[in-house]
């Protein structure tokens, strides 16, 4: 078997201004619009720090790492960190640039490894690293990104490095918990929330708590930022799972139904299974347990889900977690960046992609 050839040239990356506008989303107060270019400049500084770390002695490894990071998606974590720092009075993100780059690298590394585990062909509408460079190179590239992330985190006090490491350990535990529950609808809601709090929320919580600590926030503010990050992370993942069934694949940049296909129990499937009865429940369980599902079986799982209140409940629960995030930042001083934190929490639960 011949080795995969490196990817062909990609379309140009969206501007950071476009990424900020898209991530912040529609519906924010117009008097906040003037702050978006400032946040784009913050991301430019963070991106610069990130890409400075990607050089390797081996050009193919550098190319794979840059490929993974070049289309950085919504950059939710560094954007949240920048907004959080400014909400606490920072006039620039200089003090947190390296840490924001580290958390973005950790996130990107997990996506590379997720695509290996899930055999994903696409990531945000382009070939995954595994598809473009081959599985061995993708695994090594993901490891390389983790190493570079901790090199950046090493610039900070021990407590922040420890928090960063603990969140990565939580992430690994979440992967194990999810893998152990695949194709099993009896695991229930409590198990599901244990998974997503580790896989998604722990990293966001650690990033935001670290920002508050670096910016000299009181212990109460550090706790507030941590809870904001945790609750927003849960809302984000609930919405992500919802969009896997009800999103627009063109906006998502990947096919729908990956959780059905891979047998990952989500709130949608767990609540639908709990609510169904009789032959419909048995059919849902049988189809979900199939390790190879045909398109008509995936569509049937969606049809059965829509017989229940599960879609409505999943959307409502995402909103509830967003409201928890907003409640957590009551101690944060009033101002435009606190309002942006509120808007970003709402957006995590209602985004279309």
Other C-beta atoms closer than 10 Å to the C-beta of 248 total 11
Mean pLDDT for the chain overall = 91
Q: Tell me the CATH number at 175.
A: 1.10.600.10
Domain span including residue 281 = 157-353
Q: Which pLDDT value is given to residue 68?
A: 94
Q: How many CA atoms lie within 13 A of 331 on its CB side?
A: 14
Which of 7-11, 155-159, 167-171, 300-304 is least confident?
7-11
| CA–CA dist 343, 118 (Å, integer) | 32
pLDDT tens string 139-189: 999 999 999 999 999 999 999 999 999 999 999 999 999 999 999 999 999
pLDDT tens string 177-188: 999 999 999 999
Beta partners for residue 126, in sequence order: 123
Which of 12-26, 110-124, 210-224 is least confident?
12-26
Last residue of a domain, one of 106, 135, 155: 155
Last residue of a domain, one of 155, 176, 192: 155
Q: Which pLDDT value is given to residue 12?
A: 53
Q: Is residue 218 part of a domain?
A: yes
Instruction: For residues 137 and 216, state if they share a domain.
Output: no
Nearest to 56 by CA among 115, 134, 141, 133: 141
pLDDT tens string 60-80: 999 999 999 986 567 889 999
Number of domains in the chain: 2
Other C-beta atoms closer than 10 Å to the C-beta of 44 total 12
- Mean pLDDT of all residues in 270-283: 98
Residue 115 · residue 138 · CB < 8 Å: yes
| CA–CA dist 204, 226 (Å, integer) | 8
Q: What are phi and psi of 6, to 5 degrees?
A: -60, 155
Q: Is residue 11 part of a domain?
A: no
Q: What token pair was written down for 75?
A: 């950059």
Q: Which pLDDT value is given to residue 83?
A: 97
- Mean pLDDT of all residues in 124-147: 92
Last residue of a domain, one of 139, 155, 171: 155
| CA–CA dist 319, 326 (Å, integer) | 11
Q: Which pLDDT value is given to residue 20?
A: 75
Confidence of residue 122 (pLDDT cuts 50, 70, 90): confident
Q: Is residue 2 part of a domain?
A: no
DSSP letter string, 99-151: HHHHHHHHHHHHHHHHHHHHT-SEETTEE-HHHHH-HHHHHHHHHHHHHHHHH
- pLDDT over 70 (residue 8): no
Give the total residue count for the chain. Answer: 353
Instruction: For residues 134 and 209, state if they share a domain.
Output: no
Tokens 């928890």, residue? 324
Q: Which pLDDT value is given to residue 16?
A: 73
Q: What token pair was written down for 88?
A: 């606490």
Q: What are phi and psi of 126, to 5 degrees?
A: -130, 165
């Amino acid at each position: 078997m011949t080795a995969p050839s490196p990817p062909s040239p990609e379309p140009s990356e969206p501007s950071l201004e476009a990424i900020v506008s898209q991530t912040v989303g529609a519906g924010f107060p117009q008097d906040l619009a003037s702050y978006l270019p400032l946040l784009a400049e913050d991301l430019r500084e963070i991106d610069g720090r990130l890409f400075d770390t990607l050089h390797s002695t081996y050009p193919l490894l550098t190319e794979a790492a840059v490929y993974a990071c070049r289309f950085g998606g919504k950059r939710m974590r560094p954007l949240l960190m920048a907004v959080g720092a400014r909400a606490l009075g920072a006039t620039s993100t200089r003090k947190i640039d390296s840490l924001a780059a580290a958390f973005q690298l950790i996130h990107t590394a997990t996506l590379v490894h997720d695509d290996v585990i899930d055999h994903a062909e696409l990531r945000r509408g382009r070939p995954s690293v595994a598809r473009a460079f081959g599985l061995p190179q993708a695994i090594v590239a993901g490891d390389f990104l983790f190493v570079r992330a901790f090199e950046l985190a090493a610039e900070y006090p021990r407590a922040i490095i420890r928090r960063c490491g603990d969140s990565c350990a939580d992430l690994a535990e979440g992967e194990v918990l999810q893998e152990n529950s695949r194709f099993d609808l009896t695991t229930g809601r409590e198990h599901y929330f244990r998974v997503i709090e580790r896989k998604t929320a722990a990293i966001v919580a650690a990033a935001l708590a670290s920002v508050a600590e670096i910016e000299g926030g009181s212990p109460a503010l550090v706790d507030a930022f941590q809870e904001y990050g945790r609750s927003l992370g849960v809302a984000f993942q609930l919405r992500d799972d919802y969009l896997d069934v009800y999103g627009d694949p063109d906006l998502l940049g990947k096919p729908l139904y990956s959780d059905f296909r891979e047998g990952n129990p989500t709130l949608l499937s767990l609540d639908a299974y709990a609510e169904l009865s009789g032959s419909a429940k048995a059919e849902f369980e049988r189809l979900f347990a199939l390790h190879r599902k045909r398109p008509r079986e995936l569509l049937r799982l969606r049809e059965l889900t829509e017989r229940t209140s599960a879609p409505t409940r999943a959307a409502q629960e995402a909103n509830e977690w967003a409201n928890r995030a907003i409640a957590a930042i009551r101690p944060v001083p009033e101002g435009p960046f606190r309002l942006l934190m509120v808007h970003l929490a709402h957006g995590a639960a209602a985004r279309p992609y």
